[in-house]
């Protein structure tokens, strides 16, 4: 609330402080009294290196690699070099993603307005010093602690700090806390605590930091790796004993084959490929001016089944135009124009509606504002008391007709008709009392005019809504505007469904959830209701995304599964959102969904490849221990197989386009294919190995037995790859065929035969291997089809 004396001076601010001087700022910087809280959008380089190098599986593989370097030829140690390459790629990809995030975060970062040397200037948040005078208005986040110096109807939401949803009215001398944000009015405060001393400084940092929030992919992979470790340890111990004690072969050969049995149990590339897929997704979206502040948000939006849209700033552009002014109850239109011009001048921080009025009706200098009440989304009106120059005073309100007028008023019928055309209507009313600072000021208000405004629809909104409809994602328009008007706007964009006035929604969560399921458009929604509506949808099991750009969207954005803010939105909305559309293009959202689906679908594919290998490796080790035979493979054989049937194909498959709808239960979906696939591969390979052992006798037979088993495992693994690569495209066919040709080259080139210790002997066993592989391929097809029927995803 602003009170103005007879001379036109604001009573709460007899003088306008000029802020610090340049010299005072320099002194404070020299003393370290700056807002130096490090706000990062991603992990530091040290953290990236540590996370990629010091892993449980890298430790296991590293120890085995060092052993192999001591006891075996270099080709049996290739698996260690592969780990080095994978780790290096992981570090480089995440570093690249970090640079993209950091650069985009700078673009999206708000720049507070401070007064220095008597003038206002924008500075970076880190450039604020102790004692700075910071100006604030609707939507601005309080970035440091301070004391209010000026207050012009200033209302601050401290819910992110205290949990209290109601805005707090601030007056000169009141304390303001970092982490809160302005919802109405304006003013200025002096910074009293900066940097790490500021209350909720860490909250402000965490709001925009790169974090690993809940991700079904990440948690699912962690679960898989945990079980793999439990299986791997006892199996590896049994394998070591059988190879070193039971068979009593040469130490170096036994060690080599033991390591060859342990290494493939580790699905080390799976974690890497997941990180790479996410990182590349961030980079791709960054090029489209989409800032992903929390990496798994890409995945989260792809799993969303309900998108809650705020009309203003999302479906419509920020600007408006006055299309018509209708004077009522005999009021002179010229007089009404003067009132509107004076109202526009009375608000130092006008919203979009008032800016349109200011553009249409310039201020009359004859009128002087005595008292003003800025607009707030909770009240849904603003007001001012004027001295009209002839000694007369009048008090005027401007806001929603259905809030300022009682039910049944004739003016509401005309308003409803205009709303049905998608137009926004404000009512200018003369208050029946002079005191604005009371809740019942609207009682007895006399309508003077209807101000008709037309909102500018976003050109890309209709296509985006159609995309969500095609993807079975329900759109809910949740707005503070009149429900009929919002419904008309939604209808223009092709979004059908009934419109509901939120003031008539049940307060109980279950009843609200049922109402939300039955309608599409909701008007007159309060900020607290937006939050409750998100919670009600979540209580029904829906995964909810919320878009918005105004301060009235902050609480709902914070509670939604995924919050999406426009880049031109308020600082507060950008701080709590996981995704920020820096170019304010609603059309970017389908790109985020598509990127998430690419990551989820492709990682599910390649995870099956990796885990089939883990299952057959564990099974082969168990069978070797039970039969008391020598392990059939050296590390070089499994390195070759893993590279051709998993490593290279998985890299291309993980980054390929994928429009498959995201589905839940990642672990179950992967394991239902990996277990039968691994069992078939392991049993068929071991059977072929036993047949070859029986067929080949004499010196040098071990290499022939190993070659026959390797051919069998390769062919089965290639069939698994061929199944995973479906549906086929030209490049997938080329990928599968080229991996097969590469293996043929190894078998055909003498130097490669010697290098990899592979040589097919005779005709009977190689063709037997092909026959066993063919039977295994038929079994794989049958089993996976049976799994699809018996355990649908």
- The domains of the chain, with CATH numbers, are 2-32+110-207 (2.70.150.10), 47-96+212-283+593-790 (1.20.1110.10), 316-457 (3.40.1110.10)
Report pLDDT for 718.
94
- Does the structure show a pLDDT above 60 at 206? no
pLDDT category of residue 10 using cuts at 50, 70 and 90: very low
* Average of per-residue pLDDT values in the chain: 80
- Does the structure show a pLDDT above 80 at 455? no
Averaged pLDDT for residues 742-758: 89
Tokens for 207?
A: 């709001």
φ and ψ at residue 536, rounded to 5 degrees: -65, -40
Stronger pLDDT, 456 or 28, i.e. the higher one: 28
Averaged pLDDT for residues 212-238: 75
Report pLDDT for 495.
81
- Does the structure show a pLDDT above 70 at 31? yes
Q: Which residues pair with 113 in a beta bridge?
A: 122, 135
Report pLDDT for 651.
83
Contact (Cβ atoms closer than 8 angstroms) between residue 119 and residue 56: no
Report pLDDT for 142.
86
User: Helix 410-419 and helix 483-492: axis angle, to 10°?
Assistant: 20
Report pLDDT for 526.
80
Report pLDDT for 37.
63
The region of weakest confidence among 234-238, 389-393, 616-620, 721-725 is: 389-393
Handedness of CA 542, 545, 546, 547 (dihedral sign): negative
CA gap 290, 423 in Å, rounded: 31
Q: Token pair 């929390």 is at which residue?
A: 294
pTM attached to this predicted model: 0.65
Report pLDDT for 4.
46
- Does the structure show a pLDDT above 90 at 700? no
pLDDT category of residue 108 using cuts at 50, 70 and 90: low
22-36, 147-161, 657-671, range with greatest mean pLDDT: 22-36
The region of weakest confidence among 228-237, 242-251, 327-336, 618-627 is: 242-251
Tokens for 714?
A: 């390769």
φ and ψ at residue 42, rounded to 5 degrees: -160, 175
Report pLDDT for 205.
47
Q: Token pair 């000026």 is at which residue?
A: 150
Stronger pLDDT, 730 or 456, i.e. the higher one: 730
| Sheet strand arrangement including 381-387 | 2-3, 368-376, 381-387, 393-399, 424-430, 446-457, 316-327
What dihedral angle (degrees, nearest 10) is formed by the CA atoms of 185, 139, 360, 419?
-100
CA gap 249, 548 in Å, rounded: 70
Contact (Cβ atoms closer than 8 angstroms) between residue 114 and residue 297: no
Neighbours of 457 (CB within 10 A): 16
- Under 8 Å CB-to-CB from 270, ≥6 apart: which residues? 221, 224, 606, 607, 610, 611
160-169, 307-316, 414-423, 735-744, range with greatest mean pLDDT: 735-744
Report pLDDT for 688.
93
* Helix residue ranges per DSSP H, 263-295: 268-287
Element at 80 (helix H, strand E): helix 78-108
Report pLDDT for 208.
42
Residue whose C-alpha is closest to residue 452's, from 328, 313, 314, 553: 328
pLDDT category of residue 559 using cuts at 50, 70 and 90: confident
Report pLDDT for 9.
39
DSSP 657-719: ---PPP-S-HHHHHHHHHHHHHHHHHHHHHHHHHHHHHH--STTHHHHHHHHHHHHHHHHHHH
pLDDT category of residue 779 using cuts at 50, 70 and 90: very high
Report pLDDT for 599.
82
Report pLDDT for 250.
61
pLDDT category of residue 716 using cuts at 50, 70 and 90: very high
| Secondary structure in 3-state letters for 466-518 | HHHHHCCCEEEEECCCCHHHHHHHHHHCCCCCCEEEHHHCCCCHHHHHHHHHH
pLDDT category of residue 97 using cuts at 50, 70 and 90: low
- Does the structure show a pLDDT above 50 at 12? no
Averaged pLDDT for residues 702-725: 90
CA gap 354, 341 in Å, rounded: 10
The region of weakest confidence among 77-91, 482-496, 540-554 is: 77-91
- Does the structure show a pLDDT above 50 at 313? yes
CA gap 167, 283 in Å, rounded: 38
Percentage of the chain beyond pLDDT 70 is 84
pLDDT category of residue 793 using cuts at 50, 70 and 90: low
Say which of 157, 310, 402, 561 is annotated catalytic: 310
Report pLDDT for 94.
67
- Does the structure show a pLDDT above 60 at 699? no
Residue whose C-alpha is closest to residue 624's, from 267, 268, 263, 262: 262
DSSP 626-642: HHT---S--HHHHHHHH
- Does the structure show a pLDDT above 50 at 14? no
Beta strands in 85-243 (DSSP E): 113-116, 119-122, 133-136, 145-157, 168-169, 175-176, 181-193
CA gap 195, 40 in Å, rounded: 14
Report pLDDT for 42.
53
Peptide bond into 727 cis (omega under 30): yes
- Under 8 Å CB-to-CB from 646, ≥6 apart: which residues? 269, 606, 609, 610, 613, 717, 721
Q: What angle is formed at CA 789 by the lines to CA 785 and CA 793, rounded to 5 degrees? A: 100
> 173 burial class (0-12, 13-18, 19+ CB within 10 angstroms)?
exposed
Residue 210, CA distances (Å) to 12, 63, 344, 452 in order: 42, 33, 41, 44
The region of weakest confidence among 328-342, 344-358, 396-410, 522-536 is: 344-358
Tell me, yes or no, if 310 is annotated catalytic.
yes
Report pLDDT for 209.
43
Report pLDDT for 207.
41
Averaged pLDDT for residues 744-763: 87
Give Cα 309 to chain centroid, integer Å. 16
pLDDT category of residue 82 using cuts at 50, 70 and 90: low
Neighbours of 18 (CB within 10 A): 12
CA gap 105, 87 in Å, rounded: 26
Report pLDDT for 265.
77
């Amino acid at each position: 609330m602003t009170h103005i004396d007879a001379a036109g001076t604001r009573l709460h601010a007899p003088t306008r402080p000029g802020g610090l001087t340049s010299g005072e700022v320099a002194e404070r910087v020299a003393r370290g009294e700056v807002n130096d809280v490090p706000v990062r959008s991603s992990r530091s380089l040290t953290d990236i290196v540590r996370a990629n190098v010091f892993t449980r599986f890298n430790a296991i593989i590293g120890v085995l690699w060092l052993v192999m370097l001591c006891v075996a030829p270099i080709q049996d140690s290739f698996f260690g070099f592969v780990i080095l390459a994978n780790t290096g790629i992981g570090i480089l990809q995440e570093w690249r993603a970090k640079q993209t995030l950091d650069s985009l975060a700078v673009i999206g970062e708000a720049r507070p307005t401070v007064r220095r040397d008597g003038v206002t200037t924008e500075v970076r948040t880190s450039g604020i010093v102790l004692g700075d005078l910071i100006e604030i208005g609707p939507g601005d986040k309080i970035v440091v602690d301070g004391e209010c110096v000026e207050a012009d109807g200033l209302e601050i939401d401290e819910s992110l700090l205290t949990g209290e949803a109601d805005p707090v009215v601030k007056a000169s001398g009141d304390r303001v806390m970092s982490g809160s944000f302005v919802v109405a009015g304006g003013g200025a405060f002096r910074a009293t605590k900066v940097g790490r001393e500021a209350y909720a400084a860490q909250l402000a940092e965490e709001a925009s930091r790169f974090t690993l929030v809940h991700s079904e992919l990440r948690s699912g992979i962690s679960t898989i790796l945990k079980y793999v470790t439990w299986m791997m340890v006892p199996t590896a111990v049994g394998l070591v004993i059988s190879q070193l004690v039971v068979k009593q072969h040469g130490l170096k050969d036994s060690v080599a084959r033991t390591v060859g049995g342990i290494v493939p149990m580790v699905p080390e590339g799976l974690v890497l490929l997941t990180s790479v897929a996410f990182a590349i997704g961030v980079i791709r979206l960054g090029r489209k001016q989409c800032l992903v502040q929390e990496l798994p948000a890409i995945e989260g939006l792809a799993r969303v089944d309900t998108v809650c849209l705020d009309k203003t700033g999302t479906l419509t552009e920020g600007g408006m135009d006055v299309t018509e002014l209708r004077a009522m109850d005999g009021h002179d239109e010229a007089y009404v124009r003067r009132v509107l011009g004076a109202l526009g001048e009375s608000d130092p921080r006008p919203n979009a509606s008032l800016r349109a009025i200011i553009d249409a009706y310039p201020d009359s200098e004859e009128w002087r504002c005595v008292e003003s009440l800025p607009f707030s989304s909770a009240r849904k009106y603003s007001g001012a008391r004027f001295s009209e120059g002839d000694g007369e005073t009048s008090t005027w309100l401007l806001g929603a007709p259905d809030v300022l007028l009682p039910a049944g008023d004739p003016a509401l019928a005309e308003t409803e008709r205009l709303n049905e055309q998608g137009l926004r209507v404000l009512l200018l009313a003369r208050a029946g009392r002079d005191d604005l600072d009371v809740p019942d000021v609207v009682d007895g208000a006399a309508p003077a005019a209807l101000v008709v405004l037309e909102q500018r629809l976003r050109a890309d909104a209709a296509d985006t809504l159609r995309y969500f409809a095609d993807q079975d994602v329900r759109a809910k328009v949740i707005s503070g505007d009149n429900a009929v008007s919002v419904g008309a706007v939604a209808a223009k964009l092709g979004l059908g469904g009934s419109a509901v006035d939120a003031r008539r929604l049940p307060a109980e969560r279950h009843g609200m959830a049922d109402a939300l399921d039955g309608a599409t458009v909701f008007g007159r929604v309060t900020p607290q209701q937006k939050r409750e509506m998100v919670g009600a949808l979540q209580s029904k099991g829906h995964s909810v995304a919320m878009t918005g750009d105004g301060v009235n969207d902050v609480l709902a954005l914070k509670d939604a599964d995924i919050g999406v803010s426009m880049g031109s939105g308020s600082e507060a909305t950008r701080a709590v959102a996981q995704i920020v559309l820096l170019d304010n293009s609603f059309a970017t959202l389908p790109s985020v969904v598509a990127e998430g689906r690419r990551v989820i679908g492709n990682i599910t594919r390649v995870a099956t490849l990796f885990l089939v290998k883990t299952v057959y490796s564990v099974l082969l080790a168990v069978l070797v221990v039970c039969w008391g035979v020598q392990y059939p493979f050296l590390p070089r054989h499994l390195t070759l197989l893993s590279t051709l049937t998993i490593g290279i194909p998985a890299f291309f498959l993980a980054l390929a386009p994928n429009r498959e709808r995201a589905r839940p239960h990642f672990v179950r979906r992967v394991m239902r294919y990996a277990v039968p696939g691994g069992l078939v591969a392991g049993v068929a390979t071991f059977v072929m190995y036993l047949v070859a052992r029986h067929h080949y006798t004499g010196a040098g037979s071990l290499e022939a037995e190993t070659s026959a088993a390797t051919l069998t495992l390769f062919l089965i693994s290639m069939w698994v790859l061929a199944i995973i690569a479906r549906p086929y495209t030209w490049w997938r066919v080329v990928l599968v065929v080229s991996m097969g040709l590469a293996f043929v080259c190894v078998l055909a080139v003498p130097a490669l035969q010697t290098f990899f210790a592979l040589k097919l002997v005779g005709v009977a066993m190689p063709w037997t291997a092909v026959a066993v592989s063919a039977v295994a391929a038929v079994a794989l097809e049958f089993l996976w089809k049976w799994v699809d029927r018996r355990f649908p995803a």
